[in-house]
Chain A
Amino acid sequence: MSAQTATELSDLLLKQWNRDPANLLQILIALQRDLNHIPNEAIRYLASELSLPQSVVEGVIGFYTFLHRQPRGHYDLLFSDNITDQMQGSRDRAQQLATALNVDLGATSEDLGLSLGYTSCIGMPDQGPAALINGKTLTRLSKERMDQIADLIKQQTPVDQWPEEFFTVEDNIRRRDILLDTVLDKGAALTSYLSQGPDKLLDEIERSGLRGRGGAGFKTALKWRFCREAKGEDPVVVCNADEGEPGTFKDRVLLQSYADRLIEGMTLCAAIIGASQGFIYLRGEYRYLLEPLQQELQKRRDSGLLGSTIQGHASLDFDIEIHLGAGAYICGEESALIESLEGKRGIPRIRPPFPVTQGYLGRPTVVNNVETFIAAAMIADNGADWFRSRGTSESTGTKLLSISGDCARPGIYEYPFGTSIQTILDDCDATNTQAVQVAGPAGMTLPASEFNRVIAFDDVPTGGSFMVFDHSRNMLEAVQNFADFFVHESCGFCTPCRVGTSLLKKRLEKVIAGHATGMDLEKMIEIGHLMKTSSHCGLGTTAANPILDTIEKFPLLYDERLKTTSFEPAFDLNKALDEAREITGRTDPGAYVEGGGV
């Protein structure tokens, strides 16, 4: 691609995105898509046009996994690498393709124009193994399908001519309760708002007990009230559709099949807090949902439910823009998400100030999860008592769970809060279950002795991920997968998390290789506690959980592999002389050292 074309394209995108530096990330994502990388010419041009230092543009590109300065192949294939994908054979499929096409995993083949690699969970564990090809989602990658794909790439068939069924994403809703079963007529929540007014409606939402569905469980009415009462001008409504927690896919289903309710919920929030601008921050992995969502927005505009004078009321003026993410789990953390919305690196902010007073561009901002907005809209229409008819006193209503792993019926299950793990396992036909990982890698690892515990904010809280492992699985592989995930996703801003995640990964590898001693376990616990108490954001404070949890609840996993010595080196001492021996050809006694500890 010539320099001029990159500049021309940048110019076009600048126009489309109002020459606003806050839209830098969106411009870069579009460039990456069209040019397979972001050329230096474009970097220089964007920097000068947006009056940003070039280093800032480069810094943004460097932060996001899906942005590249070196060209990717015109087939850019990333296999989802969550443990549940691996359990479905993702690694074998990746290897199968690499072998069939004679390319290296993790590299770009110039001949075929193919880049092959892995990426964090892309939210398809109910229909894996899954992958992204040029940002489009491929599901159910069977061996046969992999062969077909190898042929398509050999024949250089463009991706938009690949068979439709490769890209089918099923909802897989297996259990519905009041949220998914109750009909919400278009505009019903807004009608309720117009008849009741903001104060009464906020009281109603408060009485419903609705708490955030994204993980932290903050009271939604309180958040909206804070924002409504905040001093700043021009509040903003943001939907967190980043859904990066490995093993979670309930927002995917809501965005795919309940988008209208989401928009209704966001509009309701806007009416209550007085916002005219809204964003859906859609994870880059859900790129396939972008156009359908845009169509949903347009439909609402066409029916007078979005845009200026909503339902004929001049005071109701609200519209929504979709921003894409670019492969960074940390951007699900609300303050990092806001940074990302502003076109920057997704580094979590120092809080306070909280987003409700100073969020997007310093304006008061409500950030809520997809499911939270939908629940709020349903409460506006059906009332607090309807919502409270399910759940417990502290955890009212229902929760969508994304169930994957070792069970016959993976998919979406809506349960009243207070449902036990065992009931859920029975419903999804999980047998011989060894452990359940609830709330993703940052959550809890539960052994069978704790299957009587219940899904609730005050017992087993969850954003929705529910991964099942039966007795055929080596749980340490799951723990290692989670440890790798956190090393990759740590934003690197603070030392306890940036360094701690890597230290834990290394020690865990030592355990798995059978070289660790009791001292290594002690160190892991010490590092884990340090990360918990001194990290800057929720990623670092929870990243050690899978290790700490399994050391405590599955001690045999570790004990079986420990050496009885008091100390073992971190690496194989003698093997570390391999290269030098090869280079010099030496075989004398001095060319070897004894392994083991002292």
Chain B
Amino acid sequence: MSGKVKVATTSLAGCFGCHMSFLDIDERLIALSELVEFDRTPITDIKEVGPCDIGLIEGGVCNAENVEVLKEFRRNCRILVAMGACAINGGIPAMRNSFDLKECLEESYVHGVGVEDPQIPSDTEIPLLLNKVHPIHEVVKIDYFLPGCPPPADTIWTFFEQLLNNQPVEFTYRQIHYD
């Protein structure tokens, strides 16, 4: 196994769409697996991240656990990548930022349609929510940003190809613009 580049991925406040897009590189996954070894990812189901070369982060930071995981990734990954709109801007989850946290929770757990025994959950097993959802670069230093919701498989593939070949990361217009 030695000599392979170690890669870890995780989804914070995301929808896993970015990970699905990653899998959409299809048969190129085989070529990729020749070059890299996966550490913590939803694919390997490894729970703790170890020392890695590259970390891919999907989703923004919405709760205490996200903060811890993201910091753990930063401590362990040489290169950390914000993958997708949510990681870069907060994305869909950040739409709650125009409301108070209390309003959001009450909407779901107190006033929601069909709610029985209305109460805001409080359990040490459940990570506490942050007042607002933040992009990941507001919590740790990020080295690369891959825009898109999700970034297309081709963009993710190009990114790996160039990075693994020690080339400067460059995209064609269509790979990172969606107008």
Which residues on A are within 8 Å of B, measured CB to CB? 519, 566-567, 569-571, 573, 576-581, 583-586, 588, 590-593, 597-598
CA–CA, A591 and B102, complex, Å: 16
Residues of A near B71 (CB, < 8 A) are 598
Is there an interface contact between A597 and B140, defined as CB atoms closer than 8 Å?
A: yes
Is there an interface contact between A576 and B122, defined as CB atoms closer than 8 Å?
A: no
A-B contacts besides A570-B134, A576-B131, A579-B131, 4 pairs, CB < 8 Å = A570-B138, A579-B101, A590-B64, A598-B74
Is there an interface contact between A593 and B102, defined as CB atoms closer than 8 Å?
A: no
**Partner among A566, A569, A571, A586 whose Cβ is within 8 Å of the Cβ of B128:** A586
Query: What would be 24 A-B contacts, judged by CB atoms less than 8 Å apart?
Result: A519-B141, A566-B141, A567-B140, A567-B141, A569-B138, A569-B139, A569-B140, A570-B137, A570-B138, A573-B67, A576-B130, A576-B131, A579-B100, A579-B131, A580-B128, A584-B120, A586-B124, A586-B128, A591-B128, A593-B68, A597-B140, A597-B141, A598-B71, A598-B140
Say which size band chain B's interface belongs to: 20 to 34
Interface centre among A519, A576, A578 (most CB of B within 10 A): A576
B25 interface contact, C-beta 8 A: no
CA–CA, A593 and B131, complex, Å: 13
Is there an interface contact between B120 and A576, defined as CB atoms closer than 8 Å?
A: no
Residues of A near B121 (CB, < 8 A) are 584
B129 interface contact, C-beta 8 A: yes
Is there an interface contact between B124 and A588, defined as CB atoms closer than 8 Å?
A: yes
| Cβ-closest 4 pairs across A and B | A584-B122, A570-B138, A580-B128, A598-B74
B105 interface contact, C-beta 8 A: yes
Is there an interface contact between A577 and B128, defined as CB atoms closer than 8 Å?
A: yes
Is there an interface contact between A577 and B134, defined as CB atoms closer than 8 Å?
A: no
Is there an interface contact between B131 and A580, defined as CB atoms closer than 8 Å?
A: yes
Is there an interface contact between B122 and A586, defined as CB atoms closer than 8 Å?
A: yes
CA–CA, A585 and B71, complex, Å: 25
**Partner among B128, B138, B139 whose Cβ is within 8 Å of the Cβ of A581:** B128
Interchain nearest-CB distance for B134 vs A (Å): 7
Is there an interface contact between A590 and B132, defined as CB atoms closer than 8 Å?
A: no
Residue of B nearest to A523 (CB): B137
B4 interface contact, C-beta 8 A: no
Interchain nearest-CB distance for A585 vs B (Å): 7
Is there an interface contact between B141 and A590, defined as CB atoms closer than 8 Å?
A: no
Q: Given the known A-B contacts A579-B101, A583-B105, are A590 and B138 also in contact in the complex, defined by CB atoms under 8 Å?
A: no
**Partner among B67, B105, B131 whose Cβ is within 8 Å of the Cβ of A578:** B131
Is there an interface contact between B64 and A591, defined as CB atoms closer than 8 Å?
A: yes
Residues of B near A578 (CB, < 8 A) are 131
B75 interface contact, C-beta 8 A: yes
Is there an interface contact between A571 and B122, defined as CB atoms closer than 8 Å?
A: no
Is there an interface contact between A583 and B102, defined as CB atoms closer than 8 Å?
A: yes
